[in-house]
Amino acid sequence: MIAHGSGSTADFVRRAFGRALRAAGYDLVTWDDSTGDVHVVADRLAYLAAHNTARLVGGISLGAHAAAWVAAAQNDLDGVLLALPAWTGPPGSTAARSGHAAESLARDGLERTLSRLSNGGWVGDELVRAWPAHGEDAVVAALRRTAASPAPTLDDLAKVAAPVGIAAFVDDVFHPLVVAEEWRDALPRAALRTMRLADAAADRGIVGQGAVDAWRQALGQPPSPPASAPR
């Protein structure tokens, strides 16, 4: 059960986590959210996890924030997979980047903004793919809500009983590595795998693979055998 980040889609979750979860013996369940509201995402994740008897919960970016809260309230999970946590506690300067993106989009419009992003590497490609599916007004509103959203505190993270795998990029200003390191240190049983943004250019699946491998490390198990990347 994996939640996507603000302005992203379930499609990205499938490409990022599907292969690694299948190799680990788990089915992937995800959904599209257009709210950018971490509390809405957490409530939906908790509901779906309960009704699908989920053994793993997780998320990417804002979805990781929601998943950490859900995991803190459960004690019977096999594990938690957290990719790209963006901040801890009250929103600050990193959260404000989402607000700046919202204002830029509201000012310049979807077409002009996407034209600029299309030259921004694979992350820009993903936004070009995702944002039209939500619509300009929905993306602006979602990014504004995200900019005002709290994340789990260190005390919240300390309540997560299940082993946790965290994946983070070392060069992502929207999801600083220091946050992932802070989360790893606050969680009772956690490991962290890192990569560079360029590593995901050819294969988004390394995001989910990193989280799964970190989870296995937290369990004291060796990394899973490498799965074949899609052609």
Question: Mind listing the domains of the chain with CATH numbers?
Answer: 2-92+150-219 (3.40.50.1820), 94-146 (no CATH)
Q: Can you tell me which residue has the tokens 């309230």?
A: 73
pLDDT digits (tens, 9 = 90+) for 82-105: 999 999 999 999 999 999 989 999
Query: Does residue 78 contact residue 53 with C-beta atoms inside 8 Å?
Result: no
Which of helix, strand or coil describes residue 143? Answer: helix
Give long-range contacts, CB 8 A cutoff, 24+ apart: 72-76. Answer: 72/152, 72/156, 72/157, 72/159, 72/160, 73/46, 73/159, 74/49, 74/161, 74/162, 75/161, 75/162
pLDDT tens sequence across 182-204: 999 999 999 999 999 999 999 99
Q: Which residues pair with 167 in a beta bridge?
A: 83, 193
Pair of tokens at residue 141: 């509103």
pLDDT, one tens digit per residue, over 199-211 is 999 999 999 999 9
Beta-ladder partners of 79: 56
**Alpha-carbon distances of 49 from 1, 62, 203, 214, rounded to whole Å:** 6, 17, 27, 21
Q: What is the rounded (10 degree) CA torsion for 190, 145, 50, 213? A: -30
What parts of the chain have a pLDDT lower than 70? 118-119, 224-231
